Amino acid sequence: MKDIKAEIVSVGTELLLGQIVNTNATWISECLAEQGISVYYHTVVGDNKNRLTTIFSDADKRSDIVFITGGLGPTEDDLTREAFQKLSGLEIIEDEATIIKMEQISAKNNRTMTPNNRKQSHTFKGAMVLKNSVGIAPGIIVDYNNTLWIFMPGVPPREMKAIMMEEVIPYLTRKLKLDAVIHSRMLRFIGIGGESQLEHELQSLISNQTNPTIAPLASEGEVALRLTAKANSLREADKLIDGLENKITAIVGQYLYGYDQVNIGQKVFDLLKEQQLTIASAESLTGGAFAASIVDHQGASEVFNGAAVVYQSFSKAKALNIDEKLLETHGTVSKECAEAMSSQVKLTYQSTIGISFTGVAGPGQFENQEEGTVFISICDQDNSYNTQKFQFHGDRKTVRNRAVKKAYEMVYYQLKRE
Amino acid sequence: MKDIKAEIVSVGTELLLGQIVNTNATWISECLAEQGISVYYHTVVGDNKNRLTTIFSDADKRSDIVFITGGLGPTEDDLTREAFQKLSGLEIIEDEATIIKMEQISAKNNRTMTPNNRKQSHTFKGAMVLKNSVGIAPGIIVDYNNTLWIFMPGVPPREMKAIMMEEVIPYLTRKLKLDAVIHSRMLRFIGIGGESQLEHELQSLISNQTNPTIAPLASEGEVALRLTAKANSLREADKLIDGLENKITAIVGQYLYGYDQVNIGQKVFDLLKEQQLTIASAESLTGGAFAASIVDHQGASEVFNGAAVVYQSFSKAKALNIDEKLLETHGTVSKECAEAMSSQVKLTYQSTIGISFTGVAGPGQFENQEEGTVFISICDQDNSYNTQKFQFHGDRKTVRNRAVKKAYEMVYYQLKRE
């Protein structure tokens, strides 16, 4: 199969002013990726005829298919057709079926059609008109200069989506006999250090790979690899990805915890459920963030008993019955305090596992500990402790997020061992 | 002032595959609009050196300032610098300050720096290096061929935002002596119903306004109006906005709680601090989300004593000493339980105000209560209660977010009265 080069042009000054996000381009791209069509560029350009024409002229030279959204509405600002006419010289005509549809709607609502309204029916002579099942302005497909030009309304996005799903994709499938797919699988790793560490381990694999490709992605505290294969069928793509995955897991398999959308929180939640365990958290610097992330999961009550957010020294003593002398001797940011918290919360909330967080979110030091210092302690079914000290970097929010993520990592390895 | 033409180039194949939305371009555009800098194009291009170089060459011809995000990371995919080198011929060098910073972090974490890591320090000879206060890879400004090239990391977005706010905008203000401004003020309202309600009240104002303009924005449970004025100075713009704000507050002033970035959580936090009050929360369906949102604020320990996340019926009894008979008689999703929770958490965590949440996050009913049913109770300094029942709509996460937002609204009006 020839590699089809597509690009997306989004028209609208409101995009350039930052008033709305260009989710249309994202949606179309995702849709095309599933069809095996490669998108090479997104361009956003304002409602300006000359600039639009220039962008169309660039697209004409480099792409096989150009998707254009926006600028097809009834106002004077809507100049997409006029700009394409300037490039192509194609005559603009009214689409009769659209005019009839508009007249019927106007009659129904006892309104008169303005000359502006008629503009929404405009298409190019010889073009194919695409039905808009949820709105007025139809889509348009023009085959011009060996490039396929596909025009769709930009707002509301549901009109573009309906035209894409009901008209454009079926048309392209017929026209291009699409039988290739691009398929991705995400491998998720935890505990491996960082993106560059993982890449270092896999360097030769990554640089020699072309199909499937390997793209490393880092998010706070964990790493993922996206394997993307291009093949003639989903099955074949899967097979290609399987082969590569085996090579990768031979090197770093011990860090792999899940696939695709399964994040580490979900994984821990599933393991707790499988092993019929319950957890409760004692949280100081995280302020309930661990608890709040667990109850995101439907059915949380099966594994989560509750949390004590003991943000003050006296609340640690009062709500969790932690010995005040221990707090005085060791301070609240200490291994001793973390372990008292994890065992006491386990007791108070009658869970099989207790986990605790105490540390310095910052900014600045606290009890002579650097900002970013965090103790996380697990008190397990047998009342034995796994307590670790970390040094995280970043602002308050980052430190807390890293702590929660690290806690999931610790619980994950603990449950995996059992 | 000469009209400055800017454009934004976002680098990353994941954008072209539709895996992430290009919110960076939107954010930068909004930021530049406020400075009176016009953005003419957004382009998204993949991690491909030739295509990147072509896009840079187009930008070179048509723009005064080019903002580039992404492709500055440590991996082989990151080719932004190499592509710009191909256009400009500028030498790539290591930035010593970044290398030192990276070595310190590696030493602290007992990790070795890989050769890939060093790549993040790369800049151009003669370029200005922009401090990244929240991450590793710095920003870069190069003045080349009468165009200003500004390179910033693309992920995580907070690094780009920090570099823009702390480095780029101050630099541009000095360099371009920006003297025409587009200035916005956000007025924030709570308790008013919805966007269309607010719009209805202000209809004639909104439709007759040109400078400043009024843009209504709704987010979960609250409404904001963005007033945007164009003027020759910030002072003049502020004056225009003041005039319009007075007209608006004459109509709906009683719902106005704050401006710009001050959200209702921040407002409540400030009021608690001013009035030297402390709060503690007892949370069932919200699972600690109220607590976690309070500790987002620096200095949270001054106003926040802690929280009991009592997700199970028995943990309500055990951790908060709530009478089990009360739970049996009235159920856990009841006014009685909510009030027992707010008074008991106040007692246990020794705060001046206690607040509680109990309800049904869904999906499905619980204790014969519809999903979305939530009781929120405040037990105040005088031990009197303000307890309300709500019916929220949406999925688990939406119901919990609405509950937290509503709680802030209740505390806000309570504190405003005092």
The reply to whether residue B114 touches residue A309, judged by beta carbons under 8 angstroms, is no
Same domain, A358 and A303: yes
Measured on CA atoms in the order B296, B299, B301, B302, is the torsion positive or negative? negative
- Chain A hits for B287, Cβ within 8 Å: 288, 291-292, 294-296, 300, 304, 307
Same domain, A269 and A171: no
Which residue in the block uniquely carries the two structure tokens 């935002």? B161
- Give the closest of A26, A197, A348 to B319, CB-based: A348
Same domain, A277 and A400: yes
Q: Are A180 and A36 in contact (CB under 8 A)?
A: yes
pLDDT at A100: 92
On the question of pLDDT at B85 being above 90, the answer is: yes
Percent of chain B at pLDDT > 70 equals 96
- Chain B hits for A200, Cβ within 8 Å: 114, 116
The reply to whether residue A22 touches residue B40, judged by beta carbons under 8 angstroms, is no
* CATH for A49: 3.40.980.10
The reply to whether residue A283 touches residue B288, judged by beta carbons under 8 angstroms, is yes
Please write the tens of the pLDDT for every residue from B122-139.
999 999 999 999 888 899
Please tell me which residue of chain B has the smallest CA distance to A62: B51
pLDDT at B105: 86
Same domain, B253 and B137: no
- Residue A266, both tokens: 């979900």
The reply to whether residue A17 touches residue B29, judged by beta carbons under 8 angstroms, is yes
Q: Are A283 and B288 in contact (CB under 8 A)?
A: yes
Which residue in the block uniquely carries the two structure tokens 């991996």? B75
Residue of B339, B353, B338, B345 whose CA lies nearest to B303: B353
Would you state the torsion angle of the CA atoms of residues B5, B8, B9, B13, taken in this order, to the nearest 10 degrees?
A: -150
Same domain, B25 and B171: yes
- Chain A hits for B318, Cβ within 8 Å: 348-350
The reply to whether residue A311 touches residue B301, judged by beta carbons under 8 angstroms, is yes
The reply to whether residue B311 touches residue A319, judged by beta carbons under 8 angstroms, is no
The reply to whether residue A23 touches residue B21, judged by beta carbons under 8 angstroms, is yes
Q: Please report the ipTM that was assigned to this predicted complex.
A: 0.71
Other Cβ atoms within 10 Å of B382 Cβ, number: 7
pLDDT at B97: 93
- Chain B hits for A27, Cβ within 8 Å: 18
Counted domains in chain B: 3
- Chain A hits for B292, Cβ within 8 Å: 286-289, 291-292
Supply the mean pLDDT for chain A: 91
Contacts 24+ apart (CB under 8 A), A134-142: A134/A158, A134/A159, A134/A162, A135/A159, A135/A162, A136/A98, A136/A101, A136/A102, A136/A105, A137/A72, A137/A73, A137/A98, A138/A95, A138/A98, A138/A163, A139/A163, A139/A167, A139/A168, A141/A168, A141/A171, A142/A84, A142/A88, A142/A90
pLDDT at B1: 45
- Give the closest of A42, A51, A395 to B134, CB-based: A395
Same domain, B197 and B300: no
- Chain B hits for A300, Cβ within 8 Å: 287, 311
The reply to whether residue A30 touches residue B19, judged by beta carbons under 8 angstroms, is yes
Same domain, A91 and A29: yes
Interface with A, mutate which of B42, B67, B294 (most A CBs under 10 A): B42
- Chain B hits for A41, Cβ within 8 Å: 16, 43-45, 51, 55
Residue ranges for chain A with pLDDT beneath 70: 1-2, 178-179, 193-195, 218-221, 418
B38 compared with B199, residue with greater pLDDT: B38
pLDDT at A86: 96
Last residue of a domain, one of A227, A259, A291: A259
Identify the domain containing residue B367 by its residue range: 264-417
**3-state SS class at A363:** coil
Helices then strands (H, E): number in chain A? 16, 17
pLDDT at B111: 79
Same domain, B24 and B164: yes
Last residue of a domain, one of A225, A259, A293: A259
* CATH for B198: 3.30.70.2860
Please write the tens of the pLDDT for every residue from B280-292.
999 999 999 999 9
The reply to whether residue B311 touches residue A304, judged by beta carbons under 8 angstroms, is yes
Same domain, A161 and A225: no
Please write the tens of the pLDDT for every residue from B307-366.
999 998 888 888 999 999 999 999 999 999 999 999 999 999 999 999 999 999 888 888
Please return the burial class of B82, using the count of CB atoms within 10 Å of its CB with bins 0-12, 13-18 and 19+.
middle
Q: Are B53 and B86 in contact (CB under 8 A)?
A: yes
The reply to whether residue B45 touches residue A43, judged by beta carbons under 8 angstroms, is no
- Residue B130, both tokens: 């922009």
| Distance, CA of B399 to CA of B359 (rounded, Å) | 10
pLDDT at B159: 94
* CATH for A379: 3.90.950.20
Same domain, A16 and A98: yes
DSSP 8-state assignment for residue B223 = E
Interface with A, mutate which of B30, B44, B109 (most A CBs under 10 A): B44
Same domain, B38 and B157: yes
| Distance, CA of B286 to CA of B361 (rounded, Å) | 8
| Distance, CA of A363 to CA of A152 (rounded, Å) | 50
The reply to whether residue B215 touches residue A19, judged by beta carbons under 8 angstroms, is yes
Please tell me which residue of chain A has the smallest CA distance to B362: A298
Measured on CA atoms in the order B14, A170, A7, A40, is the torsion positive or negative? positive
Phi, psi (rounded to 5 degrees) for A128: -95, 130
- Chain A hits for B162, Cβ within 8 Å: none
- Give the closest of A18, A28, A296 to B29, CB-based: A18
Helix or strand (DSSP H, E) at B346: helix B335-348
Same domain, B225 and B269: no
Q: Can you name the residues that pair with B304 across neighbouring β-strands?
A: B279
Rounded to an integer, the average pLDDT of B66-94 is 94
The reply to whether residue A305 touches residue B315, judged by beta carbons under 8 angstroms, is yes
- Give the closest of A21, A307, A398 to B26, CB-based: A21
* Secondary structure (DSSP) of A278-337: -EEEEESTTTTHHHHHHTTSTTGGGTEEEEEEE-SHHHHHHHH---HHHHHHH-SSSHHH
Last residue of a domain, one of B207, B231, B259: B259
Please write the tens of the pLDDT for every residue from B164-212.
999 999 999 888 876 567 788 989 998 876 556 777 778 788 777 788 8
| HSE of A394, CA atoms in CB hemisphere, 13 A | 17
Q: Are A364 and A401 in contact (CB under 8 A)?
A: no
The reply to whether residue B294 touches residue A287, judged by beta carbons under 8 angstroms, is yes
Residues in chain A: 418
The reply to whether residue B311 touches residue A306, judged by beta carbons under 8 angstroms, is yes
pLDDT at A78: 87
